[in-house]
């Protein structure tokens, strides 16, 4: 690991956090819509997104992800994903897909409360053409379900945003904290 500082430099906590720690970039609430575009600040190798209070308006929504670059949403057929899940009754809740135009996020909101945490790995690095994410999600609506998994897509661009969408055009809202961190 190469450190960006040399002997004699006076370091502050802000210097170290910007280089090595997880930095809160944004905390926002997103209103009802079937598609949300979320900007990511450049300067970080990786991002952690914490979605909470995910509320669906139409009574059931599965959320998907796509990368964005330069204001354009990438929807090429290079998206793959796989998730394993378990309900409180012990039933499995698994899903996967290949050669898709979007990645399933692991979140299905159908009333009640849903939340998810995503790590976006290497999204701001054009030299790393495979963009990877991993997530864990939780849903409670009269019972609970958890899902863990991830996905990837191929794009030789710096990804500077993410699109979160519902394939059924159902509207949903959520709160999100975005953190940036370097490898």
Q: Where are the domains of the chain?
A: 23-181
**Between the CA of residue 110 and those of 56, 74, 167, what are the distances in Å?**
6, 27, 14
Fold of 23-181: Jelly Rolls (2.60.120)
DSSP state of 45: S
Helices (H), 38-149: none
Segments of the chain with pLDDT less than 50: 1
Quote the pTM value: 0.84
d(CA 27, CA 175): 7
* Predicted local distance difference test score (pLDDT) of residue 5: 66
The tokens for 18 are: 């910007």
* Predicted local distance difference test score (pLDDT) of residue 59: 62
């Amino acid at each position: 690991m190469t450190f960006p500082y040399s002997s004699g430099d006076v370091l502050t906590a802000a210097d170290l956090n910007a280089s090595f720690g997880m930095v809160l970039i944004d905390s926002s609430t997103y209103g009802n819509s079937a598609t949300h575009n979320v900007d990511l600040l450049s300067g970080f190798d990786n991002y952690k997104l914490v979605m909470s209070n995910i509320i669906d308006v139409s009574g059931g929504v599965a959320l998907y992800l796509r990368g964005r670059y330069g204001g354009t949403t990438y929807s090429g057929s290079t998206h793959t994903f796989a998730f394993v899940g378990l309900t409180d009754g012990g039933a499995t809740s698994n899903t996967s897909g290949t050669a898709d135009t979007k990645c399933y996020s692991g979140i299905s909101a159908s009333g009640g409360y849903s939340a998810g945490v995503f790590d976006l790995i290497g999204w701001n690095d054009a030299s790393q053409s495979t963009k990877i994410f991993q997530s864990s999600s939780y849903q409670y609506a009269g019972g609970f379900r958890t899902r863990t998994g991830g996905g990837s897509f191929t794009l030789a661009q710096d990804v500077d945003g993410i699109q979160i969408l519902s394939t059924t055009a159902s509207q949903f809202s959520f709160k999100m904290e975005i953190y940036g961190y370097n490898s």
